[in-house]
Structure 1
Amino acid sequence: MKVFVTGTSRYIGGSVAVNLRAQGHEVRGLVRRRESVVSHRSAGIEPVLGALDDTELLGRLANWVDVTINAASSDHFWAAHALIESLSGTGKMLIHTSGSSIVGDDAAGMYAESTVYADDMPFQMLLNRSPRNEIDRLVRAAGIFRGMRTAVICPTMVYGQGLGEKADSDEIPKLRKKSTEVGAGVYIGEGRSIWSNVHIADLVDLYLLAVERAPSALFYFAESGELAMRDVAVAVSHSLGFGGKTQSWNVDDAVAELGLWPRIALGTNSRVRATNARGVLGWTPSRPDLAATVSANL
């Protein structure tokens, strides 16, 4: 198949693209920096310089391929809109990447008797997650009413060594950086909030299954376990040689330093189950869990 992937210089998009290429698919990747061209070509991925704001380019590339995977941004409405408009009536596939903070609360490090969400359970979301959820709904609706095949894949906290140009995930390196500064694994508040998680290699397997066999318009959480953020901090501490020592990071101090990201990504409960991935696609995640992977620096 011919596949177009956005975000191939990033962690998820790059890993997905490399895996697709390893399976024999022809892959084009959208990149913003000329510095990425050489690494893409060495991996067998044809780079195309551009950005998500270039909606005309997105449309041309989507029409050239059999499958388009948007892994660059969960929140760029106009990119998703442009891809849908270009693919409507073609019968081709669009896979959009969301993120499980859509079900997050505002617990600030507390365990709040949080609900565990299956793929199609209703949920109340924080206002800042509403635009992301609306894009997910738009993509799914296009798979019913617009003459195309769609899927929304919603990763949880992703960990493990990436396969592409960007080898590191988002959350763990930031935790390592702050933990290095204070000499202990850090967590927000009491560290009792819980996030589901998934290994990057299991996640890219899910994308491949979606390309090959996903029925249209379904939503897929991607998770293979869950862990309290204090336990994540313990794993980070071991990876840095601090022997499991941990330390609380005040949520207001964290927000002052890094913006809203620590409150949304580290202080919330985001607990889900990948019922559609397992039940519909036969996805069977098998890689080591987050604590073991992070502790061993894998």
Structure 2
Amino acid sequence: MNIKKVFITGVTGYIGGSIASLLIKRGYTVSGLFRKDADADKLKALGILPVKGSLEDAPLLKAESLKADAVIHAADADDPYAVDTFLEALKGTGKTFIYTSGSSILGNKDYGEKNDFVYTEDIPLKPRFEKAHRMEINNHILLAAKNRVRSIIIVPTMIYGEGFGLKKESIQVPMLERVSKEKGAGIYIEKGENIWSNVHIEDLANLYLLALEKAKAGAYYYAENGSSSLKDIAQTISDRMGVKATKSITIDEGVKYFGLEGAYFALASNSICSADKARLELGWAPKYSSIHDFI
């Protein structure tokens, strides 16, 4: 497999930027999609070839797909149009398409209640209807392997740690931290007993590298190395703030702060999975196992 040139969407973001930086260190040539003119020089400084455009620009996406040996889509996980553009462009080429999904597809409306069921890639998913579209996208991508696209899906869990691209912060923990500062203590939704698997951004970027180099067409991997309840995360935030107490907020208050998706699925659901498949098939050996050390 002779992959040298990689085109990345979401390259100004937390995941995409971190993947790009790692690939450049490993000798790959990386180009990346960006929107804001101010980001062009910043990307060049990181060694990334900037490509001005958007996910709505189908001709541009097709052209960049054909220039590259592989495409890593780390932008909008809910956009079927960009996915279809990439898969149509890559059909019959045998080139690699790695897609970034997200483990909220494992969640239900749990309202902060605990459910400690652990998903593996072999367990069929029937997500709630609010998340069903993302599963349809995933299935469409995996089936592209039949059309000679080396399609691969990676499903990150709750990501933590400092990014090494332009964007340094993840999403879920900083969301909690901002509201916790307003409330004067670490916060969680309802009981906060719900559990999320988690993964450090450095380990996640390494998983993308291994998938790029080793994964088979149609491969699907969860990414995790540990888990924590949202109440325990809230306690760590309180500890860092120098206070003992934590605070529960209602699901309705959570919606006001985090939106419907953020409250119900990112912060009040359970999302627990095993990444043993990535460890076994790709030799992935994550180094970090405690989200609490990085809050």
Normalised TM-score (structure 1):
0.95
Give the partner amino acid of 2:131.
R
Q: Does 1:53 align with 2:21?
A: no
C-alpha distance in structure 2 between counterparts of 1:216 and 1:258, whole Å: 36
C-alpha distance in structure 1 between counterparts of 2:294 and 2:113, whole Å: 25
In structure 1, the partner of 2:143 is 141
C-alpha distance in structure 2 between counterparts of 1:280 and 1:102, whole Å: 23
Q: Is contact 1:156-1:196 (8 Å) kept? A: yes
Residues 244 and 217 of structure 1: CA distance in aligned 2, closer, same or farther (over 3 Å): farther
How far the C-alpha of 1:73 sits from its partner, in A, is 1.2
- The sequence identity of aligned pairs, in percent, is 40
Q: Does 1:94 align with 2:80?
A: no
C-alpha distance in structure 1 between counterparts of 2:206 and 2:123, whole Å: 24
My pick for the range that moved more, 185-194 or 249-258, is: 249-258
C-alpha distance in structure 1 between counterparts of 2:186 and 2:89, whole Å: 46
Aligned residues: 291
In structure 2, the partner of 1:162 is 163
Residues 195 and 288 of structure 1: CA distance in aligned 2, closer, same or farther (over 3 Å): closer
C-alpha distance in structure 1 between counterparts of 2:5 and 2:147, whole Å: 21
In structure 1, the partner of 2:111 is 108
My pick for the range that moved more, 277-286 or 117-126, is: 117-126
C-alpha distance in structure 1 between counterparts of 2:235 and 2:30, whole Å: 39
C-alpha distance in structure 2 between counterparts of 1:39 and 1:289, whole Å: 31
How far the C-alpha of 1:130 sits from its partner, in A, is 0.6
Q: Is contact 2:151-2:218 (8 Å) kept? A: yes
User: What do residues 66-103 of structure 1 show as CA deviations (whole Å, max 9, x unaligned)?
Assistant: 11000001111010000000001111100000000011
User: What do residues 120-152 of structure 1 show as CA deviations (whole Å, max 9, x unaligned)?
Assistant: 211331111111111111111101x11121100
Q: Is contact 1:193-1:269 (8 Å) kept? A: yes
Q: Which residue of the other structure, out of 38, 41, 57, is the alignment partner of 1:38? A: 41
Q: Secondary structure at the match of 2:123?
A: coil
Residues 242 and 130 of structure 1: CA distance in aligned 2, closer, same or farther (over 3 Å): same
C-alpha distance in structure 1 between counterparts of 2:7 and 2:71, whole Å: 5
Q: Does 1:246 align with 2:252?
A: no
C-alpha distance in structure 1 between counterparts of 2:40 and 2:244, whole Å: 40
C-alpha distance in structure 2 between counterparts of 1:237 and 1:115, whole Å: 28
User: What do residues 224-253 of structure 1 show as CA deviations (whole Å, max 9, x unaligned)?
Assistant: 0110000111122223x2334310011111
In structure 1, the partner of 2:258 is 258
In structure 2, the partner of 1:132 is 134
Q: Is contact 2:34-2:51 (8 Å) kept? A: yes
What residue ranges of structure 2 are gaps of 5+ in the alignment?
none
How far the C-alpha of 1:276 sits from its partner, in A, is 1.9
Give the partner amino acid of 1:20.
L
In structure 1, the partner of 2:23 is 20
The two structures, once aligned, show a CA RMSD in angstroms of 1.0
Q: Secondary structure at the match of 2:71?
A: strand
How far the C-alpha of 1:275 sits from its partner, in A, is 2.5
What residue ranges of structure 1 are gaps of 5+ in the alignment?
none
User: What do residues 188-218 of structure 1 show as CA deviations (whole Å, max 9, x unaligned)?
Assistant: 1011000000000000000000011111101
In structure 2, the partner of 1:279 is 280
C-alpha distance in structure 2 between counterparts of 1:33 and 1:237, whole Å: 36
C-alpha distance in structure 1 between counterparts of 2:56 and 2:242, whole Å: 44
Moved over 4 A (4+): none
C-alpha distance in structure 1 between counterparts of 2:229 and 2:9, whole Å: 31
In structure 1, the partner of 2:212 is 211
Q: Is contact 1:71-1:96 (8 Å) kept? A: yes
C-alpha distance in structure 1 between counterparts of 2:126 and 2:83, whole Å: 23
Q: Secondary structure at the match of 2:252?
A: helix
Q: Does 1:186 align with 2:187?
A: yes
In structure 1, the partner of 2:71 is 68
Q: Is contact 1:209-1:283 (8 Å) kept? A: yes
Q: Is contact 1:232-1:291 (8 Å) kept? A: yes
Q: Secondary structure at the match of 2:124?
A: coil
In structure 2, the partner of 1:267 is 268
Q: Secondary structure at the match of 1:186?
A: strand
In structure 2, the partner of 1:29 is 32
How far the C-alpha of 1:257 sits from its partner, in A, is 3.1
In structure 2, the partner of 1:121 is 123
